[in-house]
Structure 1
Amino acid sequence: MGDVVGPKLPGDERGSQFPPPSYETVVDADPGDRGRLYSALTELAEQDPLIRVRRRDEEITVSLYGEVQREVLAAILQRDYGVEARFGEVRTAREERLVGVGHALEVIKQGDNEFLATIGLRVEPVPAGTGVIFELECERGSMPPAFFDATEDTVRRELVLGPLRFPVPDARVVMTHSGYWPRQSHMHQKFNKAMSSTGADFRGLAPRVLAAAVKRAGTVVCEPVHRFVIEVPDDVVGPVASLVGRLGGVLLESRAAGAGVAGAGIVVLRGEIPAGVVVALQRDLPGLTRGEGMCRTEHDRFEPVREPATST
């Protein structure tokens, strides 16, 4: 699946990766089955690149390519894992993208930092599809590796939701400052947590520093946009073009394509449309074209949503 037949042309990214899912849904189960549900979904995601799962607190979200995939997942969970999963309404999978560079720093015992940790983080935007990159500007030998690992793991977990409550899938996060208190205790006493840094200090402080850095960088909420190809009889091009416009789409090309089965002229329309209204396009097209219209869509990119999005 996804292999390209023939020579790959410059700039042709077909086959290099699957396009990101355009939809998502919340999945739940009875309280006693929620652990098994998440384990099952994680296992399925490891086996199938078309399944993407994330968890924040008690909410499990699955990214989808469409309604059919949701039905298939429900059947697999019931048949292979004995889990009766409840899927919520399928919605457009929005995400947040950084729009600038932001930096934040908290130092041990300065200000309101109650953790025995010093963390400085700088966040930077990267091209879509890059993923989260974690890098160090401070010396790796400046503190135990476990503290760097705790910071990185926390950063990746926290980026599951940005300030507007959508995932931040692509970012460069640079740790610019680090500091800790080594293991110590009062004379002739055992290890004293109040005097020594632990991984918990870095896991506790990292979300606060990251949130401040992301806020200073700023984010914009983006939605998936699909390319479409529509074939319709030439006498309904106007109504179909109007439908595309009403749904927020853009018509980029219109050309004659010869005669259809009934002998009428066929016109091919190409353009782009927000993924969230693709279902409406496919639903309304048959009525405008006497059932003769055909529509194909595929994911193209994410771009800022046209209506304002607010925190939930």
Structure 2
Amino acid sequence: MGHDPGHDLKSPPHPFKSGGPRCIALVGPFQSGKTSLLEAILARTGAIPKAGTVEAGTSVGDATAEARAHKMGVGLTTTTTSFMGDNYTFIDCPGSVEFAHDMRAALPVVDAAVIVCEPDERKLPQLQLIMRELENLGIPRFLFLNKIDRAHRRVRETLAMLQPASRVPLVLRQIPIWNGDLVAGFVDLALERAFVYREHKASEVVALDGSDLDREKEARFSMLEKLADHDDALMEQLLDDIPPPADAVFDDLARELREGLICPVLIGSAIRENGVLRLMKALRHEAPGVADTAKRLGIGDAKDALAYVLKTSHLQHGGKLSYARILRGRIEDGATVMACSGDSARVSGILALTQGGDAKRSNAEAGETVALGKLDPVKTGDMLATGKVAPEVLTVAQPASPVLAMALASIDRKDDVKLGQALQRLTEEDPSLSTVHNAQTHDVVLWGQGEMHLRVAMERLRDRFGINVKSHPPAIGYQETIRKPVTLRGKHKKQSGGHGQFGDVVLEIGPQSRGSGFAFQDKVVGGAVPRNYIPAVEEGVVDGLARGPLGFPVVDVKVTLTDGSYHSVDSSDQAFRTAARAGVTEALPQCQPVLLEPIHAVEIVCPSEATAKINAILSGRRGQILGFDTREGWPGWDVVRAQLPEAEIGDLIVELRSATAGAGGFTRSFDRMAEVNGRTADQIVAAHRVAA
């Protein structure tokens, strides 16, 4: 590890500094440089000899086949390092909103988060989504302004642009040193020291003078003013023009970070390893430890050990692993742990999370993050306790509503059972995936958070479970109904030696109000159809309504049996069922059939500047816009409400994300069935016949 002269400076005492291993989440918008920052941290702290890159596929993070194929994070990467005698677990979280559930499941038990963001206004909506997650959980957070070497505006302007994403003040801890149009280094406002960047090496301390000194004084005073909003003594010192003691400034930075009153901002370039050691120093002195995190979570002192499962993984040849943060006590290999459900399991292996592969451990202490082997009844989000009482549920990260679906089928029919098992494991690893079996079409439908989310799931089926699948858009729930009543006789007569078949019914078929469903009534008098055959007649009617003349199930129909005849020898349940089905099938084309399509109530959340685009998208998809309003508690966001045909929702999320810089989302719920007429109906019926 390179030498940083800044480490030689005598640091003021830090009463807030916590012992024990820390767990830090790296979060931020898509492609902001989180994985590059993790590489830089590991390289600068000596955990790896040289930082890898996402582009070359040599990074510790994004190490799965799917992540490297797409050059993006598609799941959590958990790894460890040490810095100045302290141990750290870093959790690199995916930036895409499609894989955000992994982040949500892990965040509750981290000690602090580093939000990696670049000076790009287009990333603001995504940044706000992430900030809100951290704020709601009360997690202390730093903002690392990455790619500062590419900045084209003053850092204060960048901060003012980013501030709407945060409910608390973004407090600038460093300002850049400019060399013409290039950022050559930074001034640390807390240390009052200037540093010049050295690519892939530690920064060098330089004299602070000239215009940089003037800028430093102005920026430092601005930082102190924001700290003084929560420190009366500091406010008095500033009013009296008394320089505050260095240790008081550091204490305020640490306390206000931990209490969620500020979000300190540091600058650097992950790809060049600039600003990384100063970030580590800030984490070391100001980020809380596991005892503080346990207190934040309301976990008291007790003898039994307590852990939280932040991730579940099924290895191809290693069984199930539960990644867990130990929040209290010690868990031994072979110990029996109890989950929130009351189910118990025996820990079969404890693995440390290192860059060179998972190393076996005999135990894990409070603060450490490890993988626990073969805890079959345990799921992500579970608390684990070594005592005899089931632990309380800490928090449940609810998956976002699914927004895109794909019908799957194994290419080789002998893989059908394996496919079901594999999907069960995938949805256990990632609860934001879900499966539904469509009884009508017999499709297995996989629901997810977007196009890439589903693509990665199918790649995992192939690469990890050896199952090749074919996919197609799921069937739309079209139905049909009738407008005109008809009375018709259905007759089934067959003679072929021995007993024949005879059934004869007269049916009145008429429309009902929308949503009424199916009704059957028997008005036979005089025993024209014996009572014991009536249920068979109803079954035949249901058979006939299963597929109408347009090719879809028929609904909102009332069928009345009014008359018929029977044969004492040849009549049977099957004969009457066949007669009723034939009668319905013949009658329906005469009843003026009409196509029905499902209409869903859709609620879209989007940045306000995208609302006009969203309205245009909905109008282009046969949507009826009901109105829009500001999103409560979300400055700069709107909620658009509309009604949209199910057929038009299929790939809506793709267009929606494109229009909102990846930040927009929607929820939907079935509203009603509505008639479709004219050319649209003709196209739907024709396409269905071709597919059939």
Q: Aligning the two structures, in what range does the TM-score lie when normalised by the shorter sequence? A: 0.5 to 0.7
Q: Could you tell me which residue of structure 2 aligns to residue 248 of structure 1?
A: 622
Tell me whether 1:234 sits opposite 2:605 in the alignment: no
Q: Provide closer, same or farther for how the CA distance between residues 235 and 26 of structure 1 changes in structure 2, counting only shifts above 3 A.
A: closer
**Structure 1 unaligned residues grouped into runs of 5+:** 1-22, 38-49, 55-59, 72-83, 184-195
Q: Which of 516, 527, 534 is residue 130 of structure 1 equivalent to?
A: 516
CA contact (8 A) 2:545 2:585 kept: no
Question: What letter is aligned with 2:566?
Answer: Y
CA contact (8 A) 2:490 2:584 kept: no
How far the C-alpha of 1:217 sits from its partner, in A, is 1.4
Q: Which of 621, 646, 649 is residue 278 of structure 1 equivalent to?
A: 649
Three-state SS of the structure 2 residue aligned to 1:163 is coil
Question: What letter is aligned with 2:550?
Answer: L
CA distance in 2, matches of 1:102, 1:211: 12
Q: Could you tell me which residue of structure 1 aligns to residue 664 of structure 2?
A: 293
CA contact (8 A) 2:492 2:579 kept: no
Q: Could you tell me which residue of structure 2 aligns to residue 218 of structure 1?
A: 592
What TM-score comes out, normalization by structure 2 length?
0.31
Tell me whether 1:97 sits opposite 2:481 in the alignment: yes
CA distance in 2, matches of 1:301, 1:270: 16
How far the C-alpha of 1:181 sits from its partner, in A, is 2.2
**After superposition, what is the alpha-carbon deviation per residue over 1:51-78, rounded to whole angstroms, capped at 9, x for unaligned?**
6624xxxxx53596x636xx9xxxxxxx
Q: Could you tell me which residue of structure 2 aligns to residue 165 of structure 1?
A: 551
CA contact (8 A) 2:599 2:670 kept: yes
Q: Provide closer, same or farther for how the CA distance between residues 223 and 143 of structure 1 changes in structure 2, counting only shifts above 3 A.
A: closer
How far the C-alpha of 1:259 sits from its partner, in A, is 6.7
Question: What letter is aligned with 2:602?
Answer: F
Q: Could you tell me which residue of structure 2 aligns to residue 67 of structure 1?
A: 447
CA contact (8 A) 1:118 1:178 kept: yes
Q: Provide closer, same or farther for how the CA distance between residues 150 and 94 of structure 1 changes in structure 2, counting only shifts above 3 A.
A: same
Q: Could you tell me which residue of structure 2 aligns to residue 11 of structure 1?
A: none
CA distance in 2, matches of 1:26, 1:124: 38
How far the C-alpha of 1:162 sits from its partner, in A, is 0.8
CA distance in 2, matches of 1:103, 1:224: 29
How far the C-alpha of 1:240 sits from its partner, in A, is 1.3
5 Å-filtered alignment, 1:9-158, equals 30=413, 53-54=439-440, 61=442, 67=447, 89=472, 90-106=474-490, 116-139=502-525, 141-158=527-544
CA contact (8 A) 1:106 1:119 kept: yes
Q: Could you tell me which residue of structure 2 aligns to residue 187 of structure 1?
A: none
CA distance in 1, matches of 2:585, 2:530: 24
CA distance in 1, matches of 2:406, 2:485: 29
Q: Could you tell me which residue of structure 1 aligns to residue 581 of structure 2?
A: 207
CA distance in 2, matches of 1:201, 1:131: 26
Question: What letter is aligned with 1:182?
Answer: S
Q: Provide closer, same or farther for how the CA distance between residues 258 and 164 of structure 1 changes in structure 2, counting only shifts above 3 A.
A: closer
**Structure 2 unaligned residues grouped into runs of 5+:** 1-404, 421-435, 449-453, 455-466, 494-499
Question: What letter is aligned with 2:475?
Answer: R
How far the C-alpha of 1:298 sits from its partner, in A, is 1.2
Q: Could you tell me which residue of structure 2 aligns to residue 6 of structure 1?
A: none
CA distance in 2, matches of 1:252, 1:131: 27
How far the C-alpha of 1:25 sits from its partner, in A, is 6.0
CA distance in 1, matches of 2:591, 2:532: 28
Q: Could you tell me which residue of structure 2 aligns to residue 176 of structure 1?
A: 562
CA contact (8 A) 1:108 1:179 kept: no
CA distance in 2, matches of 1:128, 1:202: 29
Q: Could you tell me which residue of structure 2 aligns to residue 191 of structure 1?
A: none
CA contact (8 A) 1:115 1:205 kept: no
How far the C-alpha of 1:233 sits from its partner, in A, is 2.1
Question: What letter is aligned with 2:685?
Answer: T
Identical columns (%): 21
Q: Provide closer, same or farther for how the CA distance between residues 138 and 24 of structure 1 changes in structure 2, counting only shifts above 3 A.
A: farther
CA contact (8 A) 2:408 2:470 kept: yes
CA distance in 2, matches of 1:88, 1:145: 48
CA contact (8 A) 2:528 2:563 kept: no
299-308 or 142-151: which moved more? 142-151
CA contact (8 A) 1:24 1:92 kept: no
CA distance in 2, matches of 1:218, 1:24: 34
Q: Provide closer, same or farther for how the CA distance between residues 227 and 292 of structure 1 changes in structure 2, counting only shifts above 3 A.
A: same
Question: What letter is aligned with 1:94?
Answer: Y
Q: Provide closer, same or farther for how the CA distance between residues 156 and 87 of structure 1 changes in structure 2, counting only shifts above 3 A.
A: farther
Three-state SS of the structure 1 residue aligned to 2:439 is strand
CA distance in 2, matches of 1:273, 1:296: 12
Three-state SS of the structure 2 residue aligned to 1:165 is coil
Three-state SS of the structure 2 residue aligned to 1:232 is strand
Q: Could you tell me which residue of structure 2 aligns to residue 77 of structure 1?
A: none
Question: What letter is aligned with 2:594?
Answer: V
CA distance in 1, matches of 2:552, 2:478: 6
**After superposition, what is the alpha-carbon deviation per residue over 1:168-225, rounded to whole angstroms, capped at 9, x for unaligned?**
1432111111111223xxxxxxxxxxxx433343233222211222222122111111
CA distance in 1, matches of 2:588, 2:611: 46
User: Across the two proteins, how many residue pairs are aligned to each other?
Assistant: 242
Q: Could you tell me which residue of structure 2 aligns to residue 197 of structure 1?
A: 571
How far the C-alpha of 1:237 sits from its partner, in A, is 1.6
Q: Provide closer, same or farther for how the CA distance between residues 85 and 299 of structure 1 changes in structure 2, counting only shifts above 3 A.
A: farther
Q: Which has the higher contact order (CA 8 A, sep 6+)?
A: 1
Q: Could you tell me which residue of structure 2 aligns to residue 269 of structure 1?
A: 640
CA distance in 2, matches of 1:174, 1:217: 15
Three-state SS of the structure 1 residue aligned to 2:527 is helix
Q: Could you tell me which residue of structure 1 aligns to residue 685 of structure 2?
A: 310
CA contact (8 A) 1:230 1:269 kept: yes
CA contact (8 A) 2:543 2:581 kept: no
How far the C-alpha of 1:166 sits from its partner, in A, is 0.6
Three-state SS of the structure 2 residue aligned to 1:91 is coil
**After superposition, what is the alpha-carbon deviation per residue over 1:141-161, rounded to whole angstroms, capped at 9, x for unaligned?**
333333222221111122111
CA contact (8 A) 2:486 2:591 kept: yes
CA distance in 2, matches of 1:202, 1:116: 7
CA distance in 1, matches of 2:502, 2:642: 55
